């Protein structure tokens, strides 16, 4: 069993804040994978279901960001999970917008949600999915930035990133961290698939050339026949 936690603040006032991108990711995971409707438990909203053959719980703490650990700690203890079974998705101000990074363990880097989780788990070896929201450039503007809504211009890449995080979550559950990051990054940029490379096999390339030549010849012959028929009709007028 795995516990996926999306961090944010509850209530409509904060729904579209940059600080709530973790909540947004949790909602998209539930929607994409058809998990159960959320129910109130562990001081939060929790959904559950199977993703790629693994039982997954998705939790959105309702304690407000600074007390997220109380909710996460309750769920971990109830299900007897280890920190390694926990994946926390949250906003990262020190990471450029549209970027995603994944790591296991480490410090909280000033993020109050992580600070609270650190205080309620036995160790810090849980997984972190950091979704970049960028820095405003001025420390005095940090609070306004994280508690401000995404701009209309941002909404396109945010939608692509959230969809990709949900779609590629099975890779992360399977331990394919680098593949998860790469695919999410490509999708966020709008480059999910690369252009098809030209086929340089000589026989196949020759066959395509012959096909194009035959098609061109047939079109020319048809055109000539139509032209002759039109001339005959004109001669009868």
177 shares its domain with 203: no
Do 136 and 209 sit in the same domain of this protein? no
Whichever domain contains 144, its CATH number is 3.40.50.1470
Angle 42-184-93 from CA coordinates, rounded to 5°: 65
Residues 133 and 24 in one domain: yes
Q: What's the confidence (pLDDT) of residue 220?
A: 55
Q: What is the pLDDT of residue 196?
A: 46
What predicted TM-score, i.e. pTM, was given to this entire model?
Answer: 0.80
Q: Crossing angle of helices 21-32/152-173, nearest 10°?
A: 60
Given the DSSP bridges, would you call strands 86-92 and 127-132 parallel, antiparallel or unpaired?
parallel
What local confidence, expressed as pLDDT, does residue 109 receive? 87
What was the pLDDT predicted at 229?
53
> What pLDDT is attached to residue 138?
93
3-state secondary structure of 212: helix
Token pair 């020319």 is found at 220
Contact 100, 130 (CB under 8 A): yes
Number of domains observed in the structure of the chain: 2
Helices (H) and strands (E) in the chain, counts: 7, 7
Query: Do 63 and 169 fall into the same domain?
Result: yes
pLDDT in tens, the chain (237 residues): 999 999 999 999 999 999 999 999 999 999 999 999 999 999 999 999 999 999 999 999 999 999 999 999 999 999 999 999 999 999 999 999 999 999 999 999 889 999 999 999 989 999 999 999 999 999 999 999 999 999 999 999 999 999 999 999 999 999 999 999 999 999 999 854 444 444 545 554 455 545 555 555 555 555 565 556 555 545 544
Same domain, yes or no, for 116 and 221?
no
pLDDT on residue 76 = 98
Q: Which domain holds residue 227?
A: 198-237
Give the residue numbers annotated as catalytic, written as ranges: 19
């Amino acid at each position: 069993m795995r516990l996926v936690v999306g961090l944010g603040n509850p209530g409509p006032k904060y729904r579209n804040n940059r600080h709530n991108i973790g909540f947004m990711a949790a909602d998209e995971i539930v929607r994409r994978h058809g998990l159960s409707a959320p129910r109130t438990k562990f001081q939060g909203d929790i959904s559950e279901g199977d993703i790629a053959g693994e039982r997954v719980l998705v939790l959105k703490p309702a304690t407000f960001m600074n007390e997220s650990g109380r909710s996460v700690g309750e769920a971990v203890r109830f299900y007897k999970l280890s920190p390694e079974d926990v994946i926390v998705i949250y906003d990262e101000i020190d990471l450029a917008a549209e970027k995603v990074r994944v790591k296991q363990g480490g410090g909280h880097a000033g993020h109050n949600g992580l600070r609270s989780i650190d205080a309620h788990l036995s160790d810090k070896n849980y997984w972190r999915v950091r979704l970049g929201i960028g820095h405003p450039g001025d420390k005095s503007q940090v609070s306004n930035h994280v508690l401000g809504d995404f701009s209309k211009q941002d909404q396109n890449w945010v939608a692509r990133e959230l969809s990709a995080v949900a779609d590629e979550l099975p890779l992360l559950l399977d331990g394919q961290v680098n593949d998860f990051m790469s695919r999410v990054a490509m999708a966020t940029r709008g480059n999910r698939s690369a252009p098809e490379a030209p086929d340089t096999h000589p026989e196949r390339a020759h066959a395509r050339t012959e096909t194009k030549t035959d098609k061109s010849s047939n079109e020319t012959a048809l055109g000539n026949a139509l032209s002759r028929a039109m001339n005959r009709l004109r001669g009868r007028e």
